[in-house]
Amino acid sequence: MSTIRRKKQPDKVRRDLLDAAARMAVQRGVADVTVDAVCQEAGVTKGAFFHHYQSKAALVAAVFEDLIARFEVDLAARMSADIEPHGRFTRAYLAAVTVPGEAGSEPLWAALCVSALADSALRRGWGDWLDGKLAEHREAGDLALRIVRAAADGLWLDTIAGTPATPQELAEITKRLRAMTLEDVT
């Protein structure tokens, strides 16, 4: 009798778990993401789950980190196409969170960010990431850029709350906010 052994694919298992948790967070909310449900959705055992993640909270944090990493790629692409150095990060951020169908507007952001409001570890992770990016791009102390990012966040929250600006309003608002990023008032 021969025993069939599957080739271990830890990266695939990790990706399958992240994707399953992300799908569940979008469809049912982060609160309904359970270890059992994620294992079933991903087609892996609990042993495989616990090999990669210590808990549901660790998995949710990893999904959030994965989403931030994808967001960072989007921001980097936007920044590389921007020839004006002052406010480059904030312009990329503004576009990413206000353009329908783009990185910041996808349903997973809504599910995770709403959860982050109640989860201090996720909130701290986002804050640390943003603080690092602002320092890296020398935008941390610029009040006008902070106002633009806060307004962008407000526009994003309007969208997930179901009260988005009309396309015409959004175009005018983002045009005015973008203009604020081009004024070096520091």
Which pLDDT does position 162 carry in this prediction? 77
pTM: 0.81
The predicted-structure confidence for 74-117, as pLDDT tens digits, reads as follows 999 999 999 999 999 999 999 988 876 665 556 667 777 767 77
Name the band, by pLDDT with cuts 50, 70 and 90, for residue 185: low
Percent of the chain with pLDDT over 70: 88
> Number of C-alpha atoms within 13 angstroms, CB side, residue 43?
4
Are residues 152 and 98 in contact, defined by beta-carbon separation less than 8 angstroms? Answer: yes
Longest dimension (CA), the chain: 77
